[in-house]
Structure 1
């Protein structure tokens, strides 16, 4: 499915949105996280894939590789930790905590009885659990039926208490809220709902680090971006809002074209575009793209996406798997990449559009297009990755290490 967003506009970044999320706040969050032990030093790579670009008939394809952001394996290492830091600073103002000291565990004794809870498909929960462990507070994670045992074990390894439910993601969100209410815990969620926007805002603001690094890596001194099209993964919309808000403020009316991509069975953002308001998915919400298997749009994220995303589309699971294999294979001039199930939605969508030439024309995708993709995770569930590809992540990484670009 594919639609143009009738409400998309080209205008400077509105002050009303800037008051919620801004480049300045994104830079503050980035600085606070810069010394956290769970993050690797420096920016993540931004690779150019010239052979893939040639095969798809565009001028350039750039891939931001978030798989090496952290030992946690995904971009979520930027969202939950900064939200937890800001939550603790608000909760204990009298303590005058230093943000770096919080993540270093300097105040663990004070925070020992402070408990946070969240529902997750995997990566957000792992990021929150790791941050809580570093800071010395307690963390409870609610997992729904489709979250693999492998992902559960990865979260539990960071000291989180695991609560399993039999329902789907949206039911796990409801269960986490009920646990918080009955136990006086605090929900740290990446999706907003009525009366709950501050923490999801902080999560989204953390993702601005990705956009900041992209801008720094591609800065040409010109007012226009170095890329014409940006493909964004769906989910509840948090990552997309974090990226869009930064690039929109940076480039104003000259921003790139934004394309939102979701699994066909988890199409809440697509349905929101149709309805003109936050909406629910129409499918089963059971997708191999586990990180995007969300049934309800975050209303806060939608405020940033409603007039900035130019096109919304959905893809099938088998198209995502094919894109994983394409990135893993590499080529003479394209470095092999380990990209997890949810991270390849943008590439899968680009391939679909190129196959339907009229759609590509509608989007202005042609031989002059410079496309930005964000590979949001690596093999966060190594067993699932190997099963889908018929090859382990270690094998792909070995090929990556041995790769040298053709002259």
Structure 2
């Protein structure tokens, strides 16, 4: 213990009289805290009403939690002697008499003698390694003691050659609860702004407290996520705190904002066409959003089929002639909302033709009489038997060819309705059919 013999001798050179002024002088161990496994610094402050030239102390700690690894000069000493520090500063990390440290310092050993100024100043910083298995909420007292070392080191402050026994203001080192990390808000459904708050637990927790914009809720200590609901365009701020042994961690911070998906713009530009021969309606339209969930096709308000959201056309056979049908396209937008419908009214007209226009060229002339005879005697196919039935007697025979010739050349009676000039339907119920008449000539 040559160190303590030498420092004791040096201090004795400065001491003429010993006195006790406990209420005027003090050594303060400033309370501190840290996380398991961390390196933590504890500060020692010296309080003096008069300039002080030196000090010494012993400080013990809990060896199950802490290992002292280093002692450095505090700022009051480091700035002394033009920044070169105290002339004499020494410490022991494993002194006899207990688990702790002993520290001694003399500011100046030769003139000009410098001092620690009046007031409270940092004179030492002790570095500890905190056990990785330390339980949050536990603590180690940092207690000044006069029995460490051999010989024992008393806690004193040297002032003007007088050894003052200071007030000993013991401190502590508390074990903090590791904070949650990686607090993240993930928007799961931009349609509803449903989201997930997630985080990583920093250690074992008894419970977790989550605060959103001032409102706090409690959750199981093993939770690592929470389903939440956001408001469109409004930032939500979260604090996630782990609690262990009634000790709250620092808050893990996170925030998130939902940009809600707007309603889809429904289909537009509907075009409806009909093939009157088959009563088939073809519908086509323009989709204005690639995220439609589906499209629906209805007739007179009754659902006929559900289409893919990417469909742009469909067809439907009207079940009856001369009846208006409302054909409607609607569906669900990207968020499942019902979109405005688009529709058209369509009617299938019966087979139309011009009476006597056998060849479908829009006029009635000698070619039509020849066409009738070709059908009768040469088995030439006819697109429309109703047009051959010039006299509208419900049959096709040579009288129809004669009727055409009489009308053309002899001023005979005009063929019955719908007549030779205007397309129309056959008003007479018969067995004749007209599936392939060129209705383009009707326009």
Whose strand fraction is larger, Structure 1's or Structure 2's? 2
State the TM bucket, normalised to the shorter chain: under 0.3
Q: Which has the larger radius of gyration?
A: 2
TM-score of the two chains, using structure 1 as the length reference:
0.18
Higher-RCO chain (CA-CA 8 Å, sequence separation at least 6): 1
Whose helix fraction is larger, Structure 1's or Structure 2's? 1
